Amino acid sequence: MKLNQLILATFAGMQFVFPATAADDTATNSTGAAQAEIPAYTANGGATQSVEAAEIEALKKEVQELSQKVQALEHQRDLDQQTNAAVAADQIQDLDQKVRILARQRELDQESAVAAAKAQPRISVGANGFSFGSADSNFVVALHGVLQVDSRTFEQNDKVPGNDSILLRRARPILSGTVYRDFDFLFVPEFGGGTPGASSSATTPSIYDAYVNYRYSPEFQIQAGKFKAPVGLEQLQADVNLSFNERSLVTDLVPNRDLGFELHGDVAGGVLSYAAGIFNGVGDARNSSNIGFQDDREFNGRLFIQPFKQTSLKPLQNLGFGVGGSLGDSSITNTLGLPSTTGGSQPGFFTDGQQQFFAYTNGVVAAHTHWRLSPQGYYYYGPFSLMGEYAISDQDVRKGSRSADLQNTAWEISGGWVLTGENATFSGVTPKHPFDPRIGQWGALQVVGRYAELDVDKDAFPYFANSAASASEARAWAVGLNWYLNRNIRVNASYSHTAFTGGAGGSPSAAPGSVSSHPEDVFFTRVQLSF
């Protein structure tokens, strides 16, 4: 447009003055940014015409030159624009790459952070205790604990040797863990009452469990150290999960903890559990010291089957039954091979109230063979629970030159119902609604009942036991209410009644006579913390 205007104006005899910024579109538009001065017009002769023609030619030439300059300027402008665009494109591309690199770096940093987090040691604090371990779980250390504050209140308190008492039944810090993936350990010292109802020396802190377990697979594990001997079902149930404050009479006839080596495992996802081991050997209900009391060893073993555990038959999934047993021989006679001294000064058997109702007389020792057999089973379905166990403890004893093969037997059956509907299990009850009165949650309530008997071999009397003091039979029933506030806190209350056959008729001052002279009635309470 601009060039056309110039040419037309030239032929019209117009003189133009271009602005310095002719190449600028804003200064060269058709609306009159250009200025024009119109000279006077004359119509004289040829000289005048030739002068005008020359001027026109000069003007044409000038216009051409100007036109070329304009074209050059426009070309330069286009080149500049292209160059600028190319530079801008390069800059954009550089920036784009930088942004992409930053974004990718961020991605990689996030991946690294996730990987690093996975490699970090793990710390866990919760209802199951406190634990920390390596990221791959090959090394784990966990701290658990059990605290049981009990009370026992006896009727006819003045006639029983056991005091009405508030007692620290168990106070156990528990250290467990895993090293090198396959090696588990457990260490449990006892700072509480120790052996229940025993003399003050038994309350001295002692080691209850201390073992190392090599776990090649769930089916094949080897354990060494001090731990519960694999015989009695009730004994094997964890202390914190018992239905009552104290185990029943049947546990009087099975070993407690012992030192030894055990091969054990769960086959087919727990359908079959087995354990077999060689131990120092302990008397009935005894808890081993940290060293054996004799040269000979005792074999313990247990098989337990839950045939429907892995089936879809829910009502039968938690049906289990089995048998435990032991066989030992005491070539060196010793009272440590006899039952525990719980509740008295001589080896014997004790009640729910931890009072001794039967005692061997002074001078009786374990001699030669001692075997036990314990058929056992349980059934759990929904809030219902049922457990039963029978135990035979067949023991050769000697006193002076006389010896006898005594076969003591016991059994128990116990059951329960969770009133609030939670499932009852061998591992306790987990409340659906943990205790929190602010929001109207009260935990879980369970009622429990139990009956148990223990019969002492009649051949024990009168030479190995004093029939005027020791009972030959105890029969106990108990009922209780368990309140599970949450997974860690539990409160129990129960009442137990034990009647005797034989024993003292009057009111002797010491066990076992004072215990067996009348039925035992005792009211228990417990506040339990476990984590």
Partner 1 sequence: MKTLLKILLVSALAIAAGAKDIKLLNVSYDPTRELYQDYNTAFARYWKAKTGDTVVVAQSHGGSGKQAQSVINGLEADVVTLALAYDIDAIAQQAKLLPADWQKRLPDNSTPYTSTIVFLVRKGNPKHIKDWDDLVKPNVVVVTPNPKTSGGARWNYLAAWAYALDKNGRDGAKARDFVKRLYKNVPVLDSGARGSTTTFVEREIGDVLLAWENEAHLAIKQFGADKFDIVTPPLSILAEPPVAVVDKVAKKHGTTDVARAYLEYLYSDEGQDIAGRNFYRPRSEKAAAKYAGQFSPVKLVTVDEDFGGWQKAQKTHFADGGVFDQIFQP
Q: Which residues bind partner 1 (CB under 8 A)?
A: 97, 100-101, 103-105, 108, 111-112, 136, 138, 181
Contact partners, residue 362, CB within 8 Å, separation at least 6: 346
User: With contact defined as beta carbons under 8 Å apart, do 305 and 269 qualify?
Assistant: no
Who's near 310: CB < 8 A, 6+ residues apart? 268, 269, 270, 271
Minimum distance of partner 1 from residue 181's CB (angstroms): 6
Closer to partner 1 by Cβ: residue 85 or 101: 101
Q: How far apart are CA 237 and CA 378, in angstroms?
A: 11
Q: How far apart are CA 443 and CA 434, in angstroms?
A: 5
Quick check: helix, strand or coil at residue 8? helix
In the bound state with partner 1, the residue whose beta carbon lies nearer, of 100 and 432, is 100
Distance CA 413, CA 450 (A): 6
Least Å distance, CB 136 to partner 1, is 6
Our CB check for partner 1 shows the closer of 41 and 180 to be 180
| Residue (134 or 317) nearer to partner 1, CB | 134
Distance CA 486, CA 473 (A): 39
Candidates 17, 97, 21, 28; CA nearest to 63 is 17
User: Of 139 and 308, which CB lies nearer to partner 1 in the complex structure?
Assistant: 139
Nearer to partner 1, 69 or 118 (CB): 118
In the complex, the smallest distance separating the C-beta of residue 175 from partner 1, rounded to whole angstroms, is: 24
Rounded Cα distance, 360 and 280, in Å: 22
Phi–psi pair at 125, nearest 5 degrees: -130, 125
Question: Residue 146 CB, nearest distance to partner 1 (Å)?
Answer: 33
The distance of closest approach from Cβ of residue 216 to partner 1 in the complex, given in angstroms and rounded to an integer, is 9
Strand spans (E) along 52-139? 122-126, 129-133
Nearest distance, CB of residue 220 and partner 1, angstroms: 12
The neighbouring-strand residues paired with 378 are 320, 387
Q: Provide the minimum distance between the beta carbon of 105 and partner 1 in the complex, in angstroms, as a whole number.
A: 5
